[in-house]
């Protein structure tokens, strides 16, 4: 319900609203700042006893930060679990979290356009901003740093690059705990290497002819490339943009021609369009893949847990 409201609002004036929200809410933020004296933020290198305040834009990234940062960091996920980052509308609490953060971690590649509008005004000058997709091959981008398909983290080898970057940034902002971060980094990389191998073995159980993904939004491109699935497209041609009847008809033809056996959607989006396409193409709908957001159950609160759940869901849908 809440998500539908967000999506409806965004289609008309999300950009303008973000600007207005930023300026209006900065006043509130300023007042908050006056009322509460900054704690750990006064120095670029907080004392060893203080946790490093970190703001990560999405819960999937926040989970990786938590794994590397452990009990030395205080991680806030800006976009709440269950919301879509591409169309997010920041709330006052988000501006506070961003203003207090010593390290701000975003994915980049066009995922957080709402953040780019407010970050310059909100972040403290000493804060470090880490862009995880920088230097990685972003599909659909016209050049370095340009928007494209942002969902690199769903390829576990890119998630490992994210972990290395997160660890390096934490060592920079909190040198006294550098060894601690390096230890957690090594452990997480080992888990991700195992996860990558496990995913390949699971995908190998799907017959070749059925290794095809048709999704609600274009999140699975890098995953599909890494693990050898065909990607026949997404119902939403770009985030927040409803598909035309002609586009949907072409997608249904594609689905039939490629013998697609399931349409995959996510809990942060209304399943209606996916169900409509699935019934027109005579295939089933899977509505609970997690990609831009973790889930609320304990099994879905880590990156590895989310990926395992998704892979099991994909394998089940494409083999049954």
* Strand order across the beta sheet in which 73-77 lies: 73-77, 52-56, 103-106, 128-131
Q: Which stretch binds Zn ion (CB under 5 A): 7-15, 126-134, 242-250, 290-298?
A: 290-298
| Nearest residue (CB) to Zn ion, 46 versus 233 | 233
Torsion (CA) 96, 132, 66, 7 in degrees, nearest 10? 60
| Nearest residue (CB) to Zn ion, 94 versus 292 | 292
Exposed (0-12), middle (13-18) or buried (19+): which is 106, by Cβ within 10 Å?
buried
| Nearest residue (CB) to Zn ion, 224 versus 292 | 292
Of 185-244, binders to Zn ion (CB under 5 A) are: 219
290 SS3 class: coil
Tell me the H-state helices in 133-281.
Answer: 156-173, 178-203, 221-227, 245-257, 272-281
| Nearest residue (CB) to Zn ion, 181 versus 222 | 222
Number of residues counted as binding Zn ion (CB under 5 A): 2
The nearest distance, CB 291 to Zn ion, in angstroms, is 6
Asked if residue 292 binds Zn ion (CB under 5 A), the reply is: yes
The nearest distance, CB 83 to Zn ion, in angstroms, is 11
74 SS3 class: strand
Of 144-183, binders to Zn ion (CB under 5 A) are: none
Asked if residue 112 binds Zn ion (CB under 5 A), the reply is: no
| Nearest residue (CB) to Zn ion, 155 versus 292 | 292
The nearest distance, CB 284 to Zn ion, in angstroms, is 22
End-to-end CA distance of the chain: 31
Q: Which residues bind Zn ion (CB under 5 A)?
A: 219, 292
């Amino acid at each position: 319900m809440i998500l539908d409201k967000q999506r409806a609002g965004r289609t008309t004036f999300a950009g303008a609203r973000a600007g207005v929200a930023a300026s209006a809410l900065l006043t509130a933020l300023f007042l908050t700042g006056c009322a509460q004296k900054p704690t750990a933020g006064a120095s670029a290198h907080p004392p060893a006893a203080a946790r490093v305040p970190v703001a990560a834009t999405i819960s999937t990234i926040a989970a990786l930060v938590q794994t590397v940062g452990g009990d030395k960091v205080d991680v806030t996920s800006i976009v709440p679990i269950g919301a879509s980052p591409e169309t997010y509308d920041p709330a006052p609490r988000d501006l506070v979290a961003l203003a207090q953060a010593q390290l701000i971690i975003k994915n980049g590649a066009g995922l957080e356009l709402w953040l780019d509008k407010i970050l310059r005004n909100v972040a403290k000058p000493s804060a470090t901003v880490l862009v995880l997709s920088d230097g990685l091959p972003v599909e659909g981008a016209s050049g370095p740093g340009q928007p494209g398909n942002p969902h690199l983290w769903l390829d576990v080898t890119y998630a490992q690059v994210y972990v290395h970057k997160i660890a390096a940034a934490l060592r920079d902002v909190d040198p006294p705990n550098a060894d601690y971060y390096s230890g957690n980094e090594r452990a997480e990389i080992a888990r991700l290497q195992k996860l990558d191998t496990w995913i390949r073995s699971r995908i190998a159980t799907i017959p070749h002819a059925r290794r095809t993904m048709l999704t609600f939004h274009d999140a699975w491109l890098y995953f599909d490339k890494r693990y050898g699935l065909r990607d026949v497209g997404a119902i939403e041609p770009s985030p927040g943009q409803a598909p035309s009847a002609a586009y949907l008809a072409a997608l249904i033809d594609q689905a039939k021609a490629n013998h697609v056996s399931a349409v995959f959607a996510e809990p942060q989006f209304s399943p209606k369009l996916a169900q409509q396409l699935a019934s027109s193409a005579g295939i089933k709908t899977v509505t609970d893949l997690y990609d831009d957001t973790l889930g609320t159950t304990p099994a879905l609160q880590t990156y590895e847990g989310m990926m395992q759940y998704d892979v099991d869901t994909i394998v089940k849908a494409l083999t049954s």
